[in-house]
Amino acid sequence: MTTRTFFAIVARTELWDQAKPAHEQAGFAGHAAFMHGLEAEGVIVFAGLLQDSSDVVFLFHAASANEVRGRLSKDPWQQDGHARLVRIEEIHIRIGAPSPHHPA
């Protein structure tokens, strides 16, 4: 199966308490464990917070956009409504492209 690279943006919703940092939000432990699991599998290449919007940008290695959507749909914060997938599309990185990680 061919691994492709996808860019995704996830937005915080109205359930996000703006007065609290991420680690104090309801469901943080489950969300963090889930995301660390995707990272350990080599599915998440990187994630980072966009400073002006507080959206989160992700880079994924997956076979399809549907695979990424399916995996993100299992994130506790996606399930409880703290976050929602806004955009996903395949990206062809020209400079500094990460190598696909193949877990042992």
Domains of the chain: 4-90 (3.30.70.1060)
Structure token digits, residue 74: 């299992």
pTM comes to 0.84
pLDDT value at position 88?
97
pLDDT value at position 102?
57
pLDDT in tens, the chain (104 residues): 688 999 999 999 999 998 999 999 999 999 999 999 999 999 999 999 999 988 999 999 999 999 999 999 999 999 999 999 999 999 998 887 666 665 55
pLDDT value at position 103?
56
Q: How far is it, in rounded angstroms, from Cα 5 to Cα 93?
A: 8
Q: What is the DSSP string of 12-72?
A: E-TTS-TTS-GGGSTTHHHHHHHHHHHHHHT-EEEEEE-TTT--EEEEEEES-HHHHHHHH
Q: How far is it, in rounded angstroms, from Cα 19 to Cα 54?
A: 13
